Structure 1
Amino acid sequence: MDSKLVNSLLGKLTIAFGLVMLIPLIAAAFYDPEHMWIFAVTLVFVATVASIFSIYGKSRLHQRLRVREAIAVVGCGWLLVCFMGAVPYLLLNPADPLAALFESVSGFTTTGVTTASSFNDFPPSILVWRCLTHWTGGIGVIMLFIIIMPQMNSGTSYLFNAELPGGMAERTVPKIKASALLILTIYISLTMLEIVLLLVAGVPLFQAINLALATMATGGFSYYHDSLISFHSVFVEVIAITFMLISSMNFSLYYKIWRRDWQSVLEDSEHHYYLGLLAVATVLVTINLYFSGYMPFADSLRHGFFQVVSIGSTTGFASDDFNDWPSFSRNILLLLMFVGGCSGSTAGGIKISRVVILLKAAWAELLRTLHPRIVYSVKMGKREIDPVVVGNITRFFFLYILVFVVLTVLISLSGIAVMESIGIIAACMSSVGPAFGVVRPTATYGMLPDWARFISILAMLLGRLEIFTLLAILRPDFWRDKKNW
């Protein structure tokens, strides 16, 4: 382990974090001077941390970033950013450090839930910071870091793939830094477009910015505790649906569209499976809501479609309190939490590509059982999937379910009912946010005891880092000197 290189890169990541922190500082200077000191103190703290890393770090020209150093940078970088992001909340309310950490982790992992009883508890500058943590977490903190860091060979691929996870993630152009910059450009452009459309829909400026940042990050932070219910606007819901779909599909598609490579877009099977899943789920939920007498057909279609897209994209917005929906509809939404969006998107969850590959691999094993001599390869569209990739996805799925079960048992120790515990962990690991029961869409996580909030934080981090990275850096032998990485 080249600890000096890791420290150097973490120092640069901390500097990049400080640059983002300048935005709420400027906002506080104009609109909230009373709390400007919070971000001034935070910046001093961030500068101190960056200095410490710089003292104990050293980077050399043409330094080769190996996989182990890359894992350390991703894992420690995310933990570092989440802890530093909690400082403004902690300075605002020193009495509850766990709530400060929860708010920061919820923002950066794009889970989009809060423990605050009212958003009036947050001054304007803190609300700006809250939106920014969401948006930067969506594109990926490490992705922004890749853009400003020097090219460092093979290990940078791990950084890139860690921020665009999934079984079918791909670069848009050959060079990693160029891919990261292109994805950021697309991300910013789509965010600005959504802000404009929301302003046309009559949404006030700050709320439009908040909704656009949250939607593009597939996060779900809303200006109101009851999410989009308070807007009472079909136009706003349509805009949200459109951009939730856009942000939950592979960003490489938009580069292909810009290049007018329509053949590649049409041949991309992942988004076909994803849109097909959402269509089937919408039909099932709509029929269930209507025939159960819960609401008229038009409302059943409107809220069913919105909620399926919201949960399927792991955004977590709500147009209606789905906790009161019939059991069948709630179970459909719970299953969608696990699946998530496409690889290479800002969405969470297992990812639709992995689920499809797992189903095809299971079918292949069934065929081999019936016909031992058959040769059957797993494909996504016309692309044949390497057996090594299939094996990796199988291991990931097993570990994901194992972690899910363990965390569900642990959070139930706080006295939460089993079904509600399942919903909370599923929502946190998939970065959806709202679930059922005590954390229904119109409630907050503030009602949870401290132990449950701590487990929720752990679930959010494990889900965002896709388990392997965080578990790897927690192993003592990871930090010992080895030559076989």
Structure 2
Amino acid sequence: MSILALGMCVPAVVDAALGHPDWQVFAVSAAVTLFVGISLVLAFGVGGTDMNVRQAFIMTTVAWTVLTTFAALPFAFCELELSITDAFFESMSGITTTGSTVIVGLDNAPPGILLWRGLLQWLGGVGIIVMAIAILPMLRVGGMQLFQMESADASEKAMPRAYQIALGITGIYILFTAACTVAYWGAGMDGFEAVIHAMTTIATGGYSTSDASMAHFDSMLIDFIAVGGMVAGSLPFLLYLKALQGDVVSLARDEQVRWFLAIGGAAVIIASILLWINQGLDPVQALRYGSFNVISIMTGTGYATTDYGLWGAFANPMFYFLMFVGGCAGSTSCGIKIFRFQVLFAAARTQFHHLVHPHGVFIPYYNRRPIPDEVITSVLSFFFVFGVCFALLSIALAMLGLDFITAVSSAATAIANVGPGLGPIVGPAGNFQTLPDAAKWLMSGGMLLGRLELFTILILFTRHFWKG
């Protein structure tokens, strides 16, 4: 909370320098957040306390919820005068790097608010990386324990202490953001736009400074820079660290990275062919729009340069299923994650072998290592719970009066942390402002569920968790 308060000071300084009255809102919000944060430190202390697994579950969920609540303060009291519901929705969407928005008129929004949205996604992006490396493997959520041994190997060979790994990854994250900023600025954005879009690109968040998103700039060079930034943010940051330590081929060897690039590349080729044949675009323009929008949706970034809902009958189902794929574990990306599809595929292939050779011994592998039965069970459970949560959220949204496409795609974009949905209301040409308040609260819960890998939150509602 203290770090969040310091983050609020940045837009406060920007607004004050530009003479915008919202600097007072950010200053007061920062003071309140810092007061509570310092009070907690003084009351309970920091460091030196060992947490058990149950305490870690509680801490993770409560921390993200409390941070979202305090991060909503500037939205609630700024010049835009968002309602409490809209402010919390925008804050949750930002800190979970979802990218769904309820703000209309971004082109004329206060500069401090635009910067705060970018900062929220940037902080949420680095936060989820650290959580995926340090916390989720310990909680054994959805197969994430598969990366416990990889994290341990990296810490032994590259850097001996966990905080040094986090520090190294944060340094890489800052370096990528700086490089993306320079690239955007050189491609035609002004400095302010370049900084915000760099933060939301590397965080695969998708918040923009314009209602038209990246289409506002109408630049092929900017689009391809964004594609590179989104891909960079969707690869495992621990592998970047290993590459800096001398293992330069670690990215190329990793099966998760190969699958991500293969699935993304195949979808880009299909989308580009659709645009070339059905829409009559020349091959270069077809590749530009196809690659940008496919990578944006698959990585959960949520930028848009065109309404892909108008690309033809095949485009909608393709983009709908891409929403669920996501990037690699240990990245800023969201969704189900590539490694879970790999584990599921390996388990299914082993089952086929058993059907043909009942007495044979077949072992599923991931990254040339045997997959423990516990991991397979955990991944299968994740798919089941993900499907149930998605179905329940879709039904709940439909009961509030949303049409089928809006309800189903809103549920998908929330629980997969993507951003835009499908259809004229919540698609890439619309936003979530017109949805009823109850739908926004449900979607906020869906965003948190998806970002914290479902089990981290759902386990708090079981009797067994609280026994003893």
Q: What does residue 280 of structure 1 align with?
A: 266
The alignment-based identity, stated in percent, is 31
1:383 aligns with 2:369: yes
Written as runs of structure 1 = structure 2, the 5 A alignment for 1:13-92 is 14-50=1-37, 53-54=40-41, 57-58=44-45, 62-92=48-78
Pick aligned residue for 1:222 from 208, 211, 235: 208
Residue 321 (structure 1) aligns with: 307
Aligned residues: 457
Superposed, 1:271-420 pairs within 5 Å as 271-293=257-279, 295-420=281-406
- After superposing the two structures, state which structure 1 stretch, 119-128 or 74-83, moved more: 119-128
Counterpart of 1:130 in structure 2 is 117
TM-score, structure 1 length as denominator? 0.88
- Cα shift at 1:121: 5.8
In structure 2, C-alpha distance between the alignment counterparts of 1:293 and 1:233, rounded to whole Å: 19
CA distance in 1, matches of 2:240, 2:65: 31
Match of 2:101 among 97, 106, 114: 114
Report the counterpart of residue 456 of structure 2 in structure 1.
469
**TM-superposed deviation, 1:126:** 1.6
- Superimposed CA distance per residue, residues 63-114 of structure 1 (whole angstroms, 9 cap, x where no aligned partner): 2221111111111000000000001111125561100001100110111121
Q: Does the 8 Å CA contact 2:95/2:120 hold for their aligned counterparts? A: yes
Confirm or deny: 8 A CA contact 1:143 1:159 kept in the other structure: no
Matched residue SS, 2:314:
helix
User: How far off is 1:137 after superposition?
Assistant: 0.6
For 1:243, the equivalent position in structure 2 comes to 229
Query: SS where residue 213 of structure 2 aligns?
Result: coil
User: Out of 190, 212, 217, which is 2:176 matched to?
Assistant: 190
Q: Secondary structure at the match of 1:184?
A: helix
8 A contact 2:325–2:335 mirrored in 1: yes
* Amino acid in structure 2 at the alignment position of 1:457: S
CA gap of 1:142–1:362, structure 2 versus 1, over 3 A, is closer
SS at match of 1:140: helix
Aligned equivalents of 1:342 and 1:164: distance in 2? 15
How much does 1:469 deviate?
1.3
Contact 1:70 1:159 in 2 (8 A): no
SS in 1 for 2:113: helix
1:371 CA displacement:
2.3
Residue 308 of structure 1 and its aligned partner are, at CA, apart by 1.4
Distance in 1 (CA, whole Å) between partners of 2:332 and 2:370 is: 25
Cα shift at 1:159: 6.1
Unaligned runs of 5+ in 1: 1-13, 147-155
Q: Is the 8 A contact 2:141 2:378 kept in 1?
A: no
Report the more deviating stretch, 254-263 or 236-245: 254-263
* Distance in structure 1 (CA, Å) of the matches to 2:31 and 2:279: 58
Contact 2:142 2:382 in 1 (8 A): no
Structure 2: how far apart are the matches of 1:118 and 1:76? 32
1:180 partnered with 2:166: yes
Determine if contact 1:162/1:465 at 8 Å carries over to the other structure.
no
CA distance in 1, matches of 2:109, 2:139: 32
TM-fit CA distance, 1:297: 3.3
1:158 corresponding residue in structure 2: 135
| TM-aligned CA distance change 1:268 to 1:455, over 3 Å | same
After superposition, give the CA deviation of every residue in 1:425-478 in whole Å (9 maximum; x if it has no partner).
111222210121111112111121222212211111111111111222344664
AA aligned to 2:7 is V
Q: How has the CA–CA distance of structure 1 residues 263 and 230 changed in structure 2, closer, same or farther, with 3 Å as cutoff?
A: closer
Q: Is the 8 A contact 2:213 2:304 kept in 1?
A: yes
C-alpha contact (below 8 Å) 2:129/2:331 kept by paired residues? no
Alignment partner of 1:228: what SS? helix
The answer as to 2:394 corresponding to 1:423 is no
- Cα distance in 1 between the residues matched to 2:60 and 2:431: 29
SS at match of 1:173: helix
Give the aligned residue type for 1:237.
Answer: D
1:47/1:199 Cα in 2 relative to 1: closer, same or farther (>3 Å)? closer
Tell whether the 8 Å contact from 2:235 to 2:331 is kept in structure 1 after alignment.
yes
Deviations 1:201-247 (A, max 9, x none): 12111110111001000000011112111111111011101111111
Q: Contact 1:219–1:316 at 8 Å: present in 2 too?
A: yes
CA contact (8 A) 1:142 1:163 kept: no
Q: Which amino acid aligns with 1:34?
A: P
